[in-house]
Amino acid sequence: MLDINFIRENPDIVRENIRKKFQDYKLPLVDEVLSLDKKRRELQQEGDTRRADRNRLAKQIGTLMREGKKAEAEEVKALSKANNERVTEIESESAEVETALKKAMALIPNIIADDVPIGKDDSENVQGETFLKAEPKPFEVPYHLDILESLNGIDLDSARRTSGNGFYYLTGDIARLHSAVLTYARDFMIDKGFTYCIPPFMIRSEVVSGVMSFEEMEGMMYKIEGEDLYLIGTSEHSMIGRFMGQTLPESALPQTLTSYSPCFRKEKGAHGLEERGIYRIHQFEKQEMIVLCKPEQSDEWYEKMWRYTVELFTSMEIPVRQLICCSGDLADLKYKSCDIEAWSPRQGKYFEVGSCSNLTDAQARRLGIRYKNEKTGRNEFVHTLNNTVVAPPRMLIAFLENHLQADGSVYIPEVLRKYMGGKDKIRIK
């Protein structure tokens, strides 16, 4: 959500930003917001005046009654009654205008960074840096599900019976590898100075609407029937919500946190749930990183965060690249974002394994997360950032394809062996 003062003073910039995101249907929102804002201020001014009149008229009535001027006092009482009725009307009308204003403002996208490439959708995202040499295998790489099944590491049929499409059982060494990568990712981030957290896996609607747009919520979140609770789609949701309504001391920033959670997603309208495999599923686990910082620090943290994910994957000997998201591929709250993509030897191309985003003060403004500026003494909104450290389902695909050996075994890189009981390979059983 943008600052109303910014919209009021820079409506043309807001409109141009909407055009850059190819959301021209939202252009009327700017005029709607300006009109509602003007109405709100007019009502506030009239309300303040009439409340002052209420006190003045009450004193006037008292004076007239003491002076025995009953008829005049009754006339003033009638004026006072009409004034009070109007105050009540103003308060009701103001509440309606405020609600409509917040709703309209929530639909206006965050201002994007100057260096975000302009494009309509993800097909126009721009390749950034690449890390480790991406090479084809000297043998044919099977589909990841075939590799998993050859290692006796997955049971999709049972999951379909118990839960439906989009779920799976991991077993044996593959289940252990899944946990090993998460544990390694946890320790990796702790070594970077991040504080490890396990958050609630359900959050209230006010948190959901604070961390994401309505469109995202509809496409992702599962609601708990009969309760004001939603299953989280990523731990970022509850981790940012943790600071809702708080004003932090400047000395407490930056907050650098890494969190583990299961993630639950509808994947509404997504393709792939009917396919064989685990690329797109309803439930998975993830290690996340979250930063709350001062505004002048967020660009620096953005660079650090996506590079941490690169460092993690390259330490596991998996080639990756950065893909810079274009304007049309940015969710409304994002200032800038990039994906980290891993190399697929089977497909001969990269695919997404994580995403890093700087949301500036968009989430903080919705959730009321501030810090006290020690120099000015003013309370200012923090900036929030999030990034995937690792999400094992997609990581497992990249891991298996890149470390598959000609004999069907899977090589375990050195950094993971202590989490795998010293094993250097997973072998066909």
The CATH code that applies to domain 122-426 is 3.30.930.10
Give the pLDDT confidence score for residue 64 in this predicted structure.
84
pLDDT digits (tens, 9 = 90+) for 1-15: 899 999 999 999 999
Give the pLDDT confidence score for residue 388 in this predicted structure.
97
Work out the mean pLDDT of the chain and round it to a whole number.
94
DSSP 278: S
Please report, rounded to a whole number, the percentage of residues in the chain having pLDDT higher than 90: 83
In this structure, which topology does domain 4-106 adopt according to CATH?
Helix Hairpins (1.10.287)
Give the pLDDT confidence score for residue 270 in this predicted structure.
53
Give the pLDDT confidence score for residue 220 in this predicted structure.
85
End-to-end CA distance of the chain: 54
Give the pLDDT confidence score for residue 274 in this predicted structure.
46
Q: Read off φ and ψ for residue 308, nearest 5 degrees.
A: -65, -40
pLDDT digits (tens, 9 = 90+) for 181-193: 999 999 999 999 9
Kindly list the domain boundaries of the chain, sorted by start residue.
Answer: 4-106, 122-426
pLDDT digits (tens, 9 = 90+) for 195-215: 999 999 999 999 998 998 767
Phi-psi region of 108 (alpha: psi -120 to 50; beta: other; left: phi over 0): beta
Give the pLDDT confidence score for residue 276 in this predicted structure.
67
Mean local confidence (pLDDT), 400-425: 97
Query: How many Å apart are CA 367 and CA 382, to the nearest integer?
Result: 11
pLDDT digits (tens, 9 = 90+) for 314-369: 999 999 999 999 999 999 999 999 999 999 999 999 999 999 999 999 999 999 99
Query: How many Å apart are CA 59 and CA 317, to the nearest integer?
Result: 81
Give the pLDDT confidence score for residue 231 in this predicted structure.
95
pLDDT digits (tens, 9 = 90+) for 251-270: 999 999 999 999 999 875 55
pLDDT digits (tens, 9 = 90+) for 109-143: 999 999 999 999 999 999 999 999 999 999 999 99
Query: How many Å apart are CA 293 and CA 256, to the nearest integer?
Result: 9
Residue 321 in contact with residue 377, Cβ under 8 Å? no
pLDDT digits (tens, 9 = 90+) for 58-78: 888 888 888 888 888 888 889
Give the pLDDT confidence score for residue 283 in this predicted structure.
92
Query: How many Å apart are CA 281 and CA 393, to the nearest integer?
Result: 9
For 201-245, the DSSP string reads SEE-HHHHHHHS-HHHHHHHPEEPTTSS-EE-SSHHHHHHHTTTT
Give the pLDDT confidence score for residue 75 in this predicted structure.
87
Candidate ranges 60-64, 277-281, 282-286; pick with highest mean pLDDT: 282-286
Please report, rounded to a whole number, the percentage of residues in the chain having pLDDT higher than 70: 98
DSSP 109: P
